Every structure is written in structure tokens, then in C-alpha cells.
Amino acid sequence: MKDFLLQLKEKFMRPEEEQQAPEGESYVELESGASKEDKAKVLVRPFVMEEFEDIKTVLDVLREGSTIALINIKPLREKDLVELKRAISKLRKTCEAIEGDIAGFGEDYVVAVPYFAKIHRNTLMTDEGE
């Protein structure tokens, strides 16, 4: 019976001894309660709009609220200008609904952001005073 208790004691003592840091190291590794996915991060995601139906994935991502969308509109612009205008209109309405912002970036790109971001726009100075 005494041997059994000694064996049992050894089994419970080993994990503690193995967890101790080797000599010379004086740090303790702690597990955090939240994983990396739980932390709020902003994602900048590129999209290519080749047809009107491609706008659905962009709208879904914007509604989630943590993604900035960089949308290449060149393929759709070259293919069908009416569908492009329809897609941009839908994007603009969604951005208004989520209190986001939308702006053109050159001729080929549109940037759409959720509520927490604002797009800087250069305002042109008028020559009234000069």
C-alpha cells in the first residue's frame, strides 16, 4: 500500500517539476483568455468587380463593420458602364446606411469604409481673393 501511494505521489509531482523553468530562466508564460481572432482588427481587403453580382460580397463585408474595401472597377467599367453605375449606386446607399464613406481613388478604384473611418478629400482652393 505504501508503494502504491509513493507511485501515485510521483505521478502527481512530475508535471509540476516539468513545468518549472530550467535554471537561469526566470519568466512565466501565461495564457491569455482571448485569442488573436477575438481582438478587434481592421482589415483592408481588395476586390475586383467584373460584373454586377460581385458587389454582393463587398456589401456583406462592409456591413460586418471591420473591413475597408478597395474595389477595382476597371473590368466592369470596360464591360458595362450601366452596370457599373448601378453597382456604385448600391455601394453608396449601403455606405450611407452603415454611416460609412465612399470615394473614387483614381479612375480604376473605389474605396468604401465603415462608420469608424473617414476618407480624406482634397478641397480645391478658389481664386476669389487673388
Span 57-107, pLDDT tens digits: 999 999 998 999 999 999 999 999 999 999 999 999 999 999 999 999 889
Which tens digits make up the pLDDT trace of 6-56? 776 776 665 544 555 555 566 666 666 555 554 568 899 999 999 999 999
Q: Any idea which residue has 480624406 for its cell?
A: 120
Collapsed DSSP state (helix, strand, coil) of residue 101: strand
Q: Where are the domains of the chain?
A: 39-113
Nearest-Å Rg of the Cα atoms of the chain is 28
- More confident site: 87 or 123: 87
pLDDT reported for residue 10: 73
Its pTM stands at 0.62
Per CATH, the homologous superfamily of domain 39-113 is SepF-like protein (3.30.110.150)
Q: How many angstroms separate the Cα of 18 from the Cα of each of 6, 14, 99?
A: 18, 6, 54
